Amino acid sequence: MKNILIPIEFDSNVQKLIDIGSEIAAKFNSKLWILHVAAPEPDFVPYTSGTGPNNEREARALALKKERKRIQKFSDALNNKGINTTALLIQGYTIDTIIEKVDNLNIDLIITGNNKHGFIYKFFIESVSDKIIKKADIPVLLVPFE
C-alpha cells in the first residue's frame, strides 16, 4: 500500500480521520494525501444591491485561502512526524473529484468518515461515503463518527 487518500471536511471529526490515516501510513510507510474538495465556482453570480460579482469572487478567494492554510497545517504536522504527506485543495464536485484523484495518484486505500444515520435518512439521502464506496474500485476504510 503506497498511497492513501483522506478526503476531509473541516468539521469536528477531521482529526480522527487524520490520526487513523497517519497511523496506517506510518505502519505501511505509505504516502498520505489529504484532500479537501471545495465547492466549484458558481456558473452565475447575481448582482445584488451592495454586492456584486467582484465582491463575491473576493470573498470566495479569501475562503479558499483560509481552507488551504488549514489543510496545509495538517500536512505540515504529519511531515514533521516523518509521515510523507501532501495536502490538496481542489474545487470541484466532491465524488467526481475524489474518484479522479484516486485514479491520478494511484491511490490504494481511501479513508473516509461515516456518520450514523437512521433508515429514513439513508432512504432519502445517500451519504458521501456511500457514494465513494459505490464508485471506488479500491478498498475504502469507513471510520464511524458519533
For the chain, the structural domain boundaries read 3-145
Q: What confidence tens digit (pLDDT) does each residue in 44-62 have?
A: 555 555 555 567 778 788 8
Model pTM?
0.82
At 57, list the grid cell. 469572487
> Are the C-beta atoms of 45 and 97 separated by less than 8 Å?
no
Query: What's the confidence (pLDDT) of residue 47?
Result: 55
From first to last of the 146 residues of the chain, give the pLDDT tens digit: 899 999 998 888 899 999 999 999 999 999 999 999 988 776 555 555 555 556 777 878 888 899 999 999 999 999 999 999 999 999 999 899 999 999 999 999 999 987 665 555 455 555 677 788 888 899 999 888 76
* CATH number of 3-145, picked from 3.40.50.620, 3.40.50.2000, 3.30.1360.200, 3.40.225.10: 3.40.50.620
- Give the residue ranges of DSSP H helices in the chain: 14-28, 53-80, 94-104, 119-124, 128-135
| N-terminal to C-terminal alpha carbon distance within the chain | 28
Report how far residue 67's alpha carbon sits from residue 69's, in angstroms, rounded to the nearest whole number: 5
Report how far residue 144's alpha carbon sits from residue 129's, in angstroms, rounded to the nearest whole number: 11
